[in-house]
Structure formats: structure tokens, C-alpha cells
Amino acid sequence: MEQFRLPKIQMTSLLPKAVQDVLSEAEEKLAHRPKLLKLFKNCFPNTLETTTKLMDDGTTFVITGDIPAMWLRDSVEQVMHYVPLAKDDEDLQRMLSGLIKRHIRYILIDPYANAFNESANDWHWNTADQTEMSPWVWERKFEIDSLCFSMRLAYAYWKETGLTDIFDAGFKSAMRVIYDLFKTEQRHVEQSPYRFMRNNGIRQDTLANDGLGMPVNYTGMVWSGFRSSDDACDFHYNIPGNMFAVVALRQMQEFAEWVFRDTDFLKELKKLEQDIDHGIQLYGIYRHPEFGPIYAYETDGYGNYCLMDDAGTPGLLSIPYLGYVSADDPVYQNTRRFALSKANPFYFEGKAAKGIGSPHTPDGFVWHMALSMQGITATTKEEKLAMIEMLEATDADTGYMHEGFHADDPANFTRKWFAWSNSLFSKLVHQAMKEGIL
């Protein structure tokens, strides 16, 4: 890994004016909280200052931080807090549209891959992975959310700026590729060409059943090999991932209707959205004896459920953030109470923090991203402020957010350079600034 480490890169000698304006606003609104101000000033521009590279071909490459590859999922979440600033800032428009265009290029290369290289350099996370690799692909773990994130960024950019420069023939081709893949993965066992095995002795890194995954029943939902944590699914219908697919298909319908004027494709997208949503409602809700009806994390369609939540997005906590239902939805509220309780096997409490972690990190490790997401989806200012205070107190005096940290000892953490976590924290604090609650 270390031989592939990229130097820190900066987009321009100066940050975009809209970003500078937010930092100036923070100087005023957070002056009474010097540590929070320092964290915000470090984290808000972090993606632009350390992970963003404008390419000569007009695209944008965004590394995840301490890994020299671009995840479709991570790269979107690393820049989403800039999208509301882009309407009148050409520098941000160039960066965001370039990232969308690079996403489209990657999807057309391999829609099953989750992370890509800057060039066709044949770098891979694991050179012995048993799957159909490309020299462009860093890792080929199929995660349903990866493709949804690409559509999420394109939709947000379009709605915020009104610009249509991203909508070319390649974009429409990518939409068709996503649609066809989702249709195929509704019947994974019968129709899918996708297989993945990694013989490194880590169960979460490989798919069982000779790379096919565990058996599933047809539900209308889309099969996923891996979770947003890059860990293998226990049961391959990931509920928050399928919720995200429903939202992405709704966004794609708007592209089909208002940009490409393709009514036939619009009907296909609508039918697929309805099939997946029906599957979620029929198979994705578990009647919990304590919390009532809750959304499961995963199911196989045979009546088996994985009841947990993971710090990664999409997860159960992030359902309103994705746009599937509002934060006051009764089933979501039940689910939220479950996810933020000890009934969730990956909810941890300690001397310094309490919140959601992940099987991707050791027991007892809470994730900063989960605390940020809890604040973003909170319905009261008290909960938002409590999450900001917990985040502020657990940076281990590094000035940045991390991946996971021990709930008793924030100095024991993973990933000191993790741009997604910095961005999500920034989004929460900026939101609180705009709401006037800080």
C-alpha cells in the first residue's frame, strides 16, 4: 500500500470563493467556540485541499484520503457539502461536473466496481481477487449504493445550478447500464455474471458459495454483494441500499423525462422503482418485540433477517438523509430507536462517547461519521448540539475527524486522513450554523 501513497494535492492556489465565504462566516459565528472553529476550518476545505485533482480532460479525480483510489461512494460524500455553494461559483461547478463526468466514465468501464484508479495503471487492492478485473479498477466489490451515489451527485448538481453540461450521450448510456444491472441483480442467481472471491482469510472480504453469495429468494429488490463498509453482506438484500436505489431511480426518471425526453425509458425506470419499493415494504420490515415495526438491515427473502446498523452510508440511521422517507416516518423512528440502542450489536457506549460503529472496525469503536449522521438526521436542536459537542470532544486533539475510535479513548482511532468523515462533520456544523443553533 505505502508505495502507492499519493502526495497531498490542492485544487488551486486559492480555495473557491464560495468556500472562503463559508470559512469567513464561521470565523464570526463560531468565534465563541475556538476548538470547534479550528475543526471546521480544517475539515470543511479538506477535500479540496488534500484529495481533489483536476484532470486535463475536464474530469475530476478524488481520492478517499489515505488510499490512492477513488471510491464512487466516498468521492460523492466528500463533496456533497460543497454542492449548495456551487450555483454562482464556477470553480466549484468545474470540480463537481468533472467528478460526475469521471463517474460516468468509470460506470461505463465496469458498473460492478466500487473503486477506481486515476489511470489504467493496473493497481489493485488485492492482486489475487477472483473476479473480472480491469486495469482501471482498484477494487471490484459490487455495492448497490455505489451507482446510486453517482446519480445522487448528478441530481444535486443539476437542481442546485440548473446546468445541463453533464447530460451527454455517455450519461444516458450510464443510466441504461445502471438500469440493466439492477434488473439483472433482481435475479442474481439465475442471471448475474458477477462473482467475487478474495482468499485472504478474512470472511468479510469474500463472498461465500464460490463467489456467488448466499442463496436468496426473488423479492423485487436488487442483490448486493457488499455493504457500504466494503464488508460482505450476510443476507444479500441490503435494505438501506435498496431504499437508496428507489431514490436514485426516481431521480433518473426526472433525467429521462425532463432532460432526455425519453418516455419509454421513463416507464421502465418507474416500473423498476415500484418493484424494488414493493419488495422493501413486503420483505424489509421486521416486527420487533420491543421497538415495533422496524426496517431490517438485510434479508434474504426467505424470512431471515440481519438486525443491526452500520456507521456507513447508506445505513438505517441515514434513511431520511438519502431521501427515502422523512425523519418523522413512524417506522423510521422505531428503526432509529433500535439502531441507537444496545439491541443493535454495533452500538457502543463508553466514557467518551456513545454511538454506532461497524463490524469493519473493532468492538467498542464508535464512528465519527455515525455521530455526524445522527446529528444531521436529528429532529431536535438538542440532539444536533449534543452530537456536535461529542464530535468536538473526540478528535484526539488532531484537528480532524477519523473513522472509528474507542468509546473510552478517542486517542485510539483508525484512519487519521479520512476525507469523507471530515466532510460529513462539516455538513452538520454548517447546517447548524445556518439554522442559528450554534
- Sorted by sequence, the CB contacts under 8 Å of residue 197 that are 6+ apart come out as 129, 130, 131, 206, 207, 210, 211
In degrees and rounded to multiples of 5, residue 112 shows phi and psi of: -90, -10
Q: What is the pLDDT of residue 5?
A: 37
Q: What is the pLDDT of residue 346?
A: 98
The CA-atom distances, in angstroms, between 317 and each of 20, 141, 239, 297, 377 are 31, 23, 12, 10, 8
Candidates 3.40.640.10, 1.50.10.10, 3.40.190.10, 1.10.3720.10; CATH matching 2-435:
1.50.10.10
The CA-atom distances, in angstroms, between 221 and each of 2, 55, 107, 190, 294 are 39, 37, 21, 14, 18
Rounded distance, CA 48 to CA 344, Å?
35
Q: What is the pLDDT of residue 14?
A: 84
Q: What is the pLDDT along the chain (438 residues), one digit of tens a residue?
A: 333 333 344 444 489 999 999 999 999 999 999 999 999 999 999 999 999 999 999 999 999 988 899 999 999 999 999 999 999 999 999 999 999 999 999 999 999 999 999 999 999 999 999 999 999 999 999 999 999 999 999 999 999 999 999 999 999 999 999 999 999 999 999 999 999 999 998 999 999 999 999 999 999 999 999 999 999 999 999 999 999 999 999 999 999 999 999 999 999 999 999 999 999 999 999 999 999 999 999 999 999 999 999 999 999 999 999 999 999 999 999 999 999 999 999 999 999 999 999 999 999 999 999 999 999 999 999 999 999 999 999 999 999 999 999 999 999 999 999 999 999 999 999 999 999 999
Long-range contact pairs involving 407-413 (C-beta distance under 8 Å, separation at least 24): 407/348, 407/349, 407/350, 407/351, 407/352, 407/353, 407/354, 407/355, 407/364, 407/365, 407/366, 408/350, 408/351, 408/352, 408/364, 409/350, 409/351, 409/352, 410/352, 410/353, 413/365
Q: What is the pLDDT of residue 7?
A: 36
- Sorted by sequence, the CB contacts under 8 Å of residue 292 that are 6+ apart come out as 334
- Yes or no: say if 112 and 84 are a contact pair by the CB < 8 Å rule: no
- Yes or no: say if 425 and 391 are a contact pair by the CB < 8 Å rule: yes
- Yes or no: say if 119 and 61 are a contact pair by the CB < 8 Å rule: no
| Annotated domain spans of the chain | 2-435
Quickly count: other Cβ atoms within 10 Å of residue 32's Cβ. 8
Q: What is the pLDDT of residue 162?
A: 98
Residue with cell 471490484: 140
Q: What is the pLDDT of residue 4?
A: 32
Region of 122 please: left (phi>0), alpha (psi -120 to 50) or beta: left
